Amino acid sequence: MGFFDKLVKSKGGYIFLSHSHNDIEKVRRIRNALESNGFEPLCFYLKCLDDDSEIEDLIKREIDAREWFVFVNSENSRSSKWVTLEREYITKTNKKKIITVDIDDDEAVENAVYKIVHNLRIFISYAAADSKLARRIKEKLEKKDYLVFFPPDSIPRGVPYSSIISNAIYEASSDGCVLMLITPDSVKSEHVFNELYLAFENYGNIISIVVGDVELSDEFKFCLSRNQSYRLSQCPTDEELDVMVDMIGQAISK
């Protein structure tokens, strides 16, 4: 078990499963696989309600409260009034983290679960002087159900720091992303460069967040040459961070 697997068990994310109840036996495979990885998938079947407007309102509120959506594709779901409503509402609200899975394709089901579980992994690399901003970013990411490695919170006491860092970087760089906070302080930090180089050496998905005016060394430029980059102001607002987190999600999901 990798380090991020332990984070999954402790946190988890909420996932909306859009499906026909006629497929419930097969849908349970997806639900069980997600639950075994620490997630909390929602399978609606509201037998207690008979008011369509009340059901519709409840479904829309649940959709509004979630980040990840799985459309279970089948003959039953394509003819379902409620699945059609859910699809239309999710599309209308411009939700980005949507996966469609063919219920009769075992490999597709496994791939969908893997994508959800592993694309959520993010390692944040930053200098100590930037810890306040790094923590703000971490909290924004966690609200969107990402599993974030943040050393002050993620490394248990007594565990060797270097081995945990290396393993977490390898896991995040291959499955999710390594988020580099590039600031005047971090470009002078040896440990930040070492973390960047580890991700680069692993052909990882690296995303850099550049804050203010920063002069990069040739080594930094080389390791960041194939990555995606976003800019933040010196003192970013919550709205700026929200936009940045959405952009990160789009980059990871591609």
Q: Are residues 160 and 45 in the same domain?
A: no
The CA distance from 239 to 94, in Å, is 17
Q: Are residues 99 and 173 in the same domain?
A: no
**pLDDT value for 190:** 94
Q: How far is CA 244 from CA 188, 189, 214, 251, in A?
A: 24, 24, 19, 11
Q: Are residues 85 and 188 in the same domain?
A: no
The pLDDT tens digits for 51-92 are 577 778 888 888 888 878 888 999 999 999 889 999 899 888
**pLDDT value for 15:** 85
**pLDDT value for 44:** 65
| Among 117, 146, 168, residue at a domain's last position | 117
Quote the percentage of the chain above a pLDDT of 70: 85
Q: Are residues 110 and 195 in the same domain?
A: no
* Cβ(230)–Cβ(247) below 8 Å: yes
188 pLDDT band, cuts 50/70/90, is very high
Average pLDDT over residues 14-37: 85
DSSP per-residue string spanning 103-137: TT-HHHHHHHHHHHHHHTEEEEE--GGGHHHHHHH
**pLDDT value for 239:** 94
Residue 218, pLDDT > 80, answer yes
CATH number at residue 168: 3.40.50.10140
Q: Are residues 136 and 112 in the same domain?
A: no
Q: Are residues 125 and 247 in the same domain?
A: yes
Q: Name the residue range of residue 236's domain.
A: 120-253
The pLDDT tens digits for 89-130 are 988 887 667 888 888 888 888 877 777 766 678 999 999 999
Q: Are residues 175 and 230 in the same domain?
A: yes
| Among 58, 84, 117, residue at a domain's last position | 117
Q: Are residues 9 and 80 in the same domain?
A: yes
Question: What are the strands of the beta sheet with 14-18, ordered from one edge?
Answer: 40-43, 14-18, 68-73, 97-102
The whole model's pTM is what?
0.73
**pLDDT value for 10:** 47
Q: What type of residue is 193? A: F
Q: What type of residue is 147? A: L
Q: Are residues 143 and 198 in the same domain?
A: yes
**pLDDT value for 195:** 94
| Among 117, 145, 165, residue at a domain's last position | 117
Q: Are residues 152 and 196 in the same domain?
A: yes
* Cβ(97)–Cβ(155) below 8 Å: no
**pLDDT value for 90:** 87
Which of 8-12, 107-111, 179-183, 195-199 is the least confident region? 8-12
Domains of the chain: total: 2
223 pLDDT band, cuts 50/70/90, is very high
**pLDDT value for 29:** 85
Q: Are residues 69 and 125 in the same domain?
A: no
Mean pLDDT is highest, among 35-49, 83-97, 232-246, for 232-246
Q: Are residues 150 and 84 in the same domain?
A: no
**pLDDT value for 242:** 92
The CA distance from 171 to 150, in Å, is 14
